[in-house]
Structure 1
């Protein structure tokens, strides 16, 4: 990140956020504030790659697209970077995917971001209208699949390692 991030005064706009470009850190926009996390660990990335490989074939059969670590615009001034998303076909050159095009969003929790994924982002994704939320606990290896019910998620199924 450049020094301009630290010199910035006041809330961040979506245009300013997108002007940051690609970084080695994960930078998200939460209602005018930047949420910055370090680059994922190798364990996190291995889980993401393996899960993506499994889900991609099924997504393609259904005419959907699996993408990893892309900007998802939930509403103006709220852009997250989920670990993976399954979308309808989208313009791959656009700076973000609109939440209306997302069918499933997946987050892999890390000890440093577990509360954000389990509470804040879960709420944000549900209110944005994303039907399915897949939460992977990298410490226990447990997968939790949630289905949107009104403006929140209800756990649909749980899969444990093995």
Structure 2
């Protein structure tokens, strides 16, 4: 991938982005530019797996999908890779999931990438019409659930250790920070 990325001139198209294939880094496309981050830490992946286990049971019980680290097409040329998404039934072999099929998107905030999740992606996900946005603070396990209002998100719940986030939509689930982080 390195040669292909550094030899590329001009803005990236979706076709060029998808032609990169799978990589050990997380590569996202934002309006013609690539955003590349290193592979997640073991802590990040542990949180993702534990949260995914909770949400997957709830999603499957009502015919929805829980997917991890998939391309989500917010609009042409804007393809992030969220940590977790809950979707309506989708084509599992498609190169990306359309934003219109995403009911909830979740990002696990890495200390080195907090601004992207808290500002850029929050704006992009809301503008694309994704109803729910769940943020997990990697260092503390604190959870913040946002619901879309117009083209922005409004915080619905915020919980820390000793408290429980009660998700009612798009799935029913109870999530405690201590279940995600020891």
**Alignment gaps of 5+ in structure 2:** 163-182
Is 1:35 matched up with 2:29? no
Is 1:75 matched up with 2:75? yes
Alignment of structure 1 residues 1-162 onto 2, 5 Å = 1-162=1-162
Shift of 1:63: 1.2
Distance 2:62 2:131 in 1: 16
Distance 2:155 2:161 in 1: 18
Shift of 1:3: 0.6
Distance 2:49 2:161 in 1: 16
**Alignment gaps of 5+ in structure 1:** none
Number of aligned residue pairs: give it.
162
Shift of 1:2: 3.0
TM-score (structure 1 length as normaliser) = 0.98
TM-score (structure 2 length as normaliser) = 0.88
SS of match in other structure, 2:111:
coil
Distance 1:108 1:68 in 2: 12
SS of match in other structure, 1:52:
helix
Distance 1:86 1:41 in 2: 22
SS of match in other structure, 1:45:
helix
Residue-by-residue CA offset, 1:43-66 (whole Å, 9 max, x unaligned) = 000000000000111111121100
Residue-by-residue CA offset, 1:48-88 (whole Å, 9 max, x unaligned) = 00000001111111211000000000000000000000000
Residue-by-residue CA offset, 1:102-141 (whole Å, 9 max, x unaligned) = 0000000001110000000000000000000000011121
